[in-house]
Amino acid sequence: MGLSYVILAAAVFDYVAAQTCTTGKWKLSENAECQQCGRCVDSKGQQVACDPNGGTCNPQKCATGYYGDKCLDECGECLGGDRFCMSNGTCRLGCKQGYKGAYCNQQCLAGKFGENCAEKCGECQGGDSKCDKAVGACSDGCVPGWSGLLCRLRCPDGRYGLNCNEKCGHCLFSHQCNKDTGTCTGGCKAGYQGPSCTMSCPRGMYGANCAKSDKEAYGFGIGRLAMGSGSEEEHHGSMRIATPALIVAVAALLVGLAALGAVTYYRRHKKSATSDTAKEKEEADDVETYENVGSPVYKKPVRRH
């Protein structure tokens, strides 16, 4: 036992003294540590040892999927597989979908997919991290308003929400239905109300925005008030006169208010747009300057009313 230990120790000493690596290992310089050979193979594809001094393969042939003079470098994600990895590590046919770079070892960045990562991900639920880098499929479905495996299809007009499964309400025009939320951006068809135009007008109301009330009930009430007393015929007579007059008056008032609102909104809007442009042009100027510049335009209608 003691003797074999001595022999082993001597053998180890010999190796170290000779500064040679064991078969299948190599080192770069005398004092460097020995390391494993690369995937050198012979003409039959059998693993062979590399040059213990420097690690190169002789003959210079690597196992499939490896490249470099030492066959230490692993091929990337070549389209068609490792057999299309060339001796310098590039891929003869380009990269597999989801990878890019000369060596096809870089994954697509978040939000990109496909060949050369050239395609842009759709509207995946959960964001770009849920977009498959190879084919672009969204693993958790689409955000509301979008559909398809890649979530690149906008809901068709009249549909909205998750997977475009929801049917829009009675929007004035079906293309005015917000495809994410179902809100009718241009108002409702006559007879309907609510942000999504899903509610019928209340009893006795009708028309656009349910703004019109039942003619009979409304007119009769006003007729009574106007006349105070009198025959049934007179009631009806007054009703016929009072109702159109009142409707015209109310309509005029509404139109006036709407116009005032629109003008105010427009002026305000225009003013802010103007000051934004001004801001870009004269960054150094004080904020008050813009207020002053904008004011005359804005104040006019306020004085008038």
Ligand X SMILES: *[C@@H]1O[C@H](CO)[C@@H](O)[C@H](O)[C@H]1NC(C)=O
Q: How far apart are the first and last CA of the chain?
A: 115
* Nearer to ligand X (CB atom), residue 37 or residue 91: 91
* Nearer to ligand X (CB atom), residue 68 or residue 136: 68
Give the interface segment with ligand X, choosing from 86-94, 228-236, 270-278, 295-303 (CB under 6 A): 86-94
Record the tokens describing residue 243, joined without a space.
Answer: 């109702």
Q: At closest approach, how far in Å is the CB of 105 from ligand X?
A: 13
CA–CA gap between residue 205 and residue 247 (Å, rounded): 14
Q: What angle do CA 234, 238, 243 make, to 5 degrees?
A: 150
Interacting residue with ligand X among 11, 12, 102, 258 (CB under 6 A): 102
* Nearer to ligand X (CB atom), residue 58 or residue 88: 88
Binding residues with ligand X: total (CB under 6 A): 4
* Nearer to ligand X (CB atom), residue 36 or residue 87: 87
90 forms part of the interface with ligand X (CB under 6 A): yes
Total residues belonging to the chain: 305
Q: At closest approach, how far in Å is the CB of 107 from ligand X?
A: 20
Interacting residue with ligand X among 23, 47, 88, 277 (CB under 6 A): 88
* Nearer to ligand X (CB atom), residue 92 or residue 167: 92
245 forms part of the interface with ligand X (CB under 6 A): no
Give the interface segment with ligand X, choosing from 5-13, 83-91, 204-212, 243-251 (CB under 6 A): 83-91
Find how far residue 120's CA is from the centre of its chain. Answer: 10
Q: At closest approach, how far in Å is the CB of 61 from ligand X?
A: 15
6 forms part of the interface with ligand X (CB under 6 A): no
69 forms part of the interface with ligand X (CB under 6 A): no
Interacting residue with ligand X among 7, 10, 11, 86 (CB under 6 A): 86
Give the interface segment with ligand X, choosing from 60-68, 85-93, 135-143, 184-192 (CB under 6 A): 85-93
Residues that bind ligand X (CB under 6 A): 86, 88, 90, 102
